[in-house]
Amino acid sequence: MPADVTIDVRNLRMRYGDTDVLTGVSFTARPGEVLVLLGPNGAGKTTTIEILEGFRRRSAGDVLVLGADPARGGESWRARVGIVLQSWRDHSKWRVRELLEHLSRYYRAFATDRRPWNVDDLLVAVGLTAQAGSRISSLSGGQRRRFDVAVGIIGHPDLLFLDEPTAGFDPEARREFHDLVHEIADDDTTILLTTHDLDEAEKLADRILILCGGTIIADGSADALTRRISTQAEVRWSVDGTRYVHSTEDATAFVRGLFHRHDDTITDLEVRRASLEDTYMTMVRQFEAGRRDAAVREFSEVASS
């Protein structure tokens, strides 16, 4: 495996009883990359993440995470992986600083020049300095999630897993959380996160993976995925108070022509491409329709033979 690949998954399969949850998932991730895994409920996002975390055994396929098979990771591998878990009522009697200091002790046996985080710096980074002496049970929902992130990154991981990190956040907490994720990624930490929030995916992702029907149906930047679905852009403008809308393949040429004709009487100019949400919905629907068609074809072949 080349040194500049953090995650290398090939043809990963997972089967529970008679149900195939993952039917062949393949993707890679590079250091410092933020990957967002999207997909409908039950598509296998959590299963995929838990296999990569080393918390679940896979049925088949090749998986390398930080150069090792997560099913046989060992403790020094574990020290390089960060996992943001959703706290509930664990460690409720512990104080914020107390638990962070305790957990950081385990990483001292695997210390590097940046591992583990200094607890004071970590508290500043997640914005919990004022709560350092508070009991964990007294934290608000947003503070608690930031605390979960602090626990996840305390070992200064090379790879961080975030499974639906902002579920239940208010917009302000979400914005703060996004800034934090950017800071972590700037530190050369690879991040793999799942979310249902497409706006969040667009803001955070270097690359988006869409998992549907147990396989990756799309892999690319938000921009590249959008272009794959629709090359059309919508141009809106006003001339003398009248609003116009026009769809075009070549928005730049169209707008140039527009200025040529109307010059500075044009106001309120907007050029819009399909949003990630449009793209996502189209891709998932196309995939599901394709699967239905295939099932119908198979059925009629069986019926006619």
Partner 1 sequence: MNPTLNAVRAGVSRGLIELRQTLTTPMDLWNHVLPSVIYLVVLYFTRGDTVPGTAFSLGARTLPSLIGMTIVFSGLSTMMMSLAVEREDGTLLRAKAVPSGMVGYLVGKIVLVSSMTILNIAVILVPSLFLLDGLAIGSVTSWLTLAWVLVLGLVATLPLGAVLGALIDNPRNGGLAILPIMALIAISGIFYPLDGYPDWLASLGRVFPVYWLGLGMRSALLPDGMAAVEHAGSWQHLETLGVLGAWAIAGLVAAPIVLRRMARRESGSAVIARRERALQRAA
Chain position carrying tokens 């090379």:
158
Q: How far apart are CA 48 and CA 238, in angstroms?
A: 48
**Least distance CB 88 / partner 1 (angstroms):** 5
Query: Nearer to partner 1 by C-beta: 86 or 231?
Result: 86
Query: Nearer to partner 1 by C-beta: 14 or 222?
Result: 14
**Least distance CB 201 / partner 1 (angstroms):** 20
**Least distance CB 74 / partner 1 (angstroms):** 9
What are the helix (H) ranges across the chain? 45-53, 74-78, 96-107, 119-126, 141-153, 171-186, 198-204, 222-229, 251-262, 276-304
**Least distance CB 54 / partner 1 (angstroms):** 9
Q: At CA 37, angle to CA 35 and CA 39, rounded to 5?
A: 160
Query: Nearer to partner 1 by C-beta: 47 or 226?
Result: 47
Q: How far apart are CA 207 and CA 11, in angstroms?
A: 19
- In the structure encoding, which two tokens stand for residue 24, read together? 């062949």
Question: 234 has which bridge partners?
Answer: 247, 272
**Least distance CB 89 / partner 1 (angstroms):** 5
Strand 233-239 with 7-16, pairing: unpaired
Query: Nearer to partner 1 by C-beta: 100 or 218?
Result: 100
Contacts of 39 (CB under 8 A, 6+ apart): 45, 194, 210, 211, 212, 284
- Residue 102 near residue 143, CB atoms below 8 Å: no
**Least distance CB 39 / partner 1 (angstroms):** 15
**Least distance CB 78 / partner 1 (angstroms):** 4
Query: Nearer to partner 1 by C-beta: 163 or 197?
Result: 163
Chain position carrying tokens 């706290």:
87
Query: Nearer to partner 1 by C-beta: 65 or 229?
Result: 65
**Least distance CB 272 / partner 1 (angstroms):** 38
Query: Nearer to partner 1 by C-beta: 98 or 219?
Result: 98
Which residues of the shown chain bind partner 1 in the complex (CB under 8 A)?
Answer: 46-47, 49-50, 53, 55-56, 75-76, 78-79, 83, 85-91, 93-94, 98, 102-103, 105-111, 151-152, 155, 163
What are the helix (H) ranges across 135-265? 141-153, 171-186, 198-204, 222-229, 251-262
Chain position carrying tokens 């838990």:
50
Determine whether 13 is exposed, middle or buried from the number of CB atoms within 10 Å of its CB (0-12, 13-18, 19+). Answer: middle
Query: Nearer to partner 1 by C-beta: 143 or 194?
Result: 194
Contacts of 176 (CB under 8 A, 6+ apart): 127, 142, 146
- In the structure encoding, which two tokens stand for residue 170, read together? 């208010």
- In the structure encoding, which two tokens stand for residue 256, read together? 């140039």
